[in-house]
Structure 1
Amino acid sequence: MAHELNLKKALAQQQNEIDDFTIYSMLSVSDKYEANKLIFHKISEEEKGHYTYLLSFTKQELKPRAHVVFFYLLLSKIVGISFTLKFLERREEDAKQFYKELIAIDDKANAIYEQEINHEIELIDMLHDKKLLYAGAIVLGMNDALVELTGTLSGIALAFDKSVVVGITGLIMGIAAALSMAGSAYLESKENIGAEIKPMTYALYTGVSYILTTAILVAPFFICEKISVAIIWMFFGAVLIIGLYNFYISVAKDLPFWKRVREMSYITFGVALISFGIGYVVKHYFGIEI
């Protein structure tokens, strides 16, 4: 029974190895940076060696799973290779355990175990990932939109009586602020950021991230008639944005996830609470209703 279980584990790991070999091989062809190509080729050869090693145990040839390969290649195009490959390597925790157990059966597994622990992550940390270079622009646009719009929408939601009016006001302010922020980001990148970053692209990342964040935050006010319900959904959208972005950064840059989520949440919801209070005062004492 134990032998059957080990065979299943070996086949599962062998499947991962042939999938990874295919992913890295295709990246070594498609990536435009020569240094990256060399890294991908090196890792792909190691994955192929792991596959061949396991084949000696299982005696079963396996083919790469097209949907798995397609998913990771598509992900690399959307969010960059650093996030994609570190996300891919997270499943290596099971691989480490598997090869650690295999050492008791065959000493050759020790070399693969060492590679799984150190070598691949070290290589991935050397990758040139242009999308990651623009992470600062995304933070600039997204974080500013979160703080400014959650605060603004919370404040005017109490001053106005119509949900759609809140949404339109927030949308106009958001688009205007996005254009202003993009312009500021362009000038900042020309003065303070390294030569690898193009000012126009940096400004575009900033503006687009601001507008996308704006769209998510104001959408509930166009959908929900009750302002109280729209505010709840707006905060849910803010939490979702904060969570998704910090998950990306925590994986791509090996940064603490929950610490960053807490910091952004405190700032965002602190400003929103203050603005909510100001809106209450304006409505209660000045009687403004639109």
Structure 2
Amino acid sequence: MEKDLIKILKKFQRDEITEYYTYIMLSKIGGENNKDTLIRLAEAEYSHYEFFKQYTRCEIKPNFFRAKKNYFMAKYFGLTFGLKAMEIGEQKAQSNYKDIIKNLPEVQKILEDEENHEIEVVGLLKEERLIYVSSIILGLNDALIELTGALAGYTFALDNSKVIAMVGLITGIAASLSMGASEYLSSKSEKNSDKNHKRAAIYTGLTYMITVSFLVAPFLLGLTPHIALFLTLITAVFIIFVFNYYVAVATGASFKKRFFEMTFLSLGISTLSFIVGIAIKNILKVDS
């Protein structure tokens, strides 16, 4: 067998044993419901490793750095997110498999496993945070759109950072409680839903409150209202980016479409609120 082909097969072999160790580690944090599924994934990867070993005729050590990186990603960002992120990397490997099928037709079986088996098995995983992702999105969307708009309006109407922060927090706390109650009633009316009504309300209200805290924070730093507002808008765009990246990876949703849609709405409402704040201040002839 050609040396170049052996080199490629060794790389594939290392990828497979790395993923084997990754799934074994994940099976220890994935919960009882997911443990068997993750072990099945590990066994599939190990069988792929053994397949390539027939041709390379050597043992290959795993990439422990990558395995631990995947492990910590799943531990801190969620099991499904970690696995989906791994899938993205594996898609590149699949294209490489196709390149060597003409030299080694048996690789077709490995390719079929990578394309079909793992996707099906990963789809069996159940993770609480993804069950309630719609509740999280509700809290996040409303907080970003309502609070960025409200803070923009307050900036021009009040022109005092501490007062704006105080009013923003009062508005945010009241709105988070209201959103939590609304989500409780909404999820309770849903039929055939896996959601726990109280948890759905908590996810919505808590997400709203956390988002409010980040958005109001710049006004508590002793900055001028306009600079604080600028930082708030940057924070809002950053939150939108991070959250939509998470959702895109974990659920397969379109990142670009959701990111630009949420950013446009949030900044658009803020711009309108700028204008409303100035107009109300001038109409009521309120001095700063």
TM-score (norm 2): 0.89
Matched residues in 1 for 2:187 and 2:69: separation?
A: 33
CA RMSD of aligned residues (A): 2.3
**Structure 1 residues 201, 67: closer, same or farther in 2, change over 3 A?**
farther
- Quote the residue 2:113 is aligned against: 115
Verify: 1:22 aligned to 2:21, yes or no: yes
| Kept after mapping to 2: 8 A contact 1:79/1:131 | no
Give the match's secondary structure for 2:180.
helix
For 2:226, the equivalent position in structure 1 comes to: 228
Cα distance in 2 between the residues matched to 1:223 and 1:16 = 47
1:215 is matched by which residue type in structure 2? Answer: S
- Structure 2 counterpart of 1:102, which letter? I
Q: CA contact under 8 A between 2:30 and 2:79: conserved in structure 1?
A: no
Equivalent residue letter for 1:15: R
Cα gap change, 1:59 to 1:287, in 2 (>3 Å): farther
Distance 1:60 1:182, change over 3 A: same
Instruction: Note the alpha carbon deviations across 1:145-190, whole angstroms, 9 max, x for none.
Output: 0111011000010112222221222122112211222222223222
2:157 pairs with 1:175: no
Once the two structures are aligned, what percentage of the paired residues are identical? Answer: 36
1:28: Cα distance to partner?
3.8
User: Cα–Cα, structure 1 residues 48 and 242, in superposed 2: closer, same or farther, change >3 Å?
Assistant: same
Q: Which structure 2 residues correspond to residues 266-285 of structure 1 after superposition, within 5 A?
A: 266-285=264-283
Q: Which amino acid aligns with 2:125?
A: L
Cα distance in 2 for residues equivalent to 1:229 and 1:10 = 56
Match of 1:139 among 137, 140, 148: 137
Alpha-carbon offset, residue 195 of structure 1? 5.0
Q: Is the 8 Å Cα contact of residues 95 and 116 (structure 1) preserved in structure 2?
A: no
Task: Compute the displacement of 1:11 (Å).
Answer: 3.8
SS in 1 for 2:223: coil
Whole-angstrom distance in 2 between the partners of 1:135 and 1:158: 35
Alignment of 1:127-206 (within 5 A): 127-192=125-190, 194-206=192-204
- By how many angstroms is 1:259 displaced? 1.3
Secondary structure in 2 matching 1:91: helix
Distance in structure 1 (CA, Å) of the matches to 2:129 and 2:179: 19
Q: Structure 2 counterpart of 1:31, which letter?
A: G
Q: Per-residue CA shift, 1:80-106, capped at 9, x if unaligned?
A: 322221111100122112222222332
Q: Please give the residue correspondences for 1:240-251 in structure 2 after superposition, counting only pairs within 5 Å.
A: 240-251=238-249
1:138 is displaced (CA, Å) by 0.4
Native 8 Å contact 2:29 2:75 kept in 1: no
How many residues of Structure 1 are paired with residues of Structure 2 in the alignment? Answer: 287
Q: For structure 2, list consecutive stretches of 5 or more residues without a partner in the other structure.
A: none
Structure 1 unaligned blocks of 5 or more: none
SS in 2 for 1:62: coil
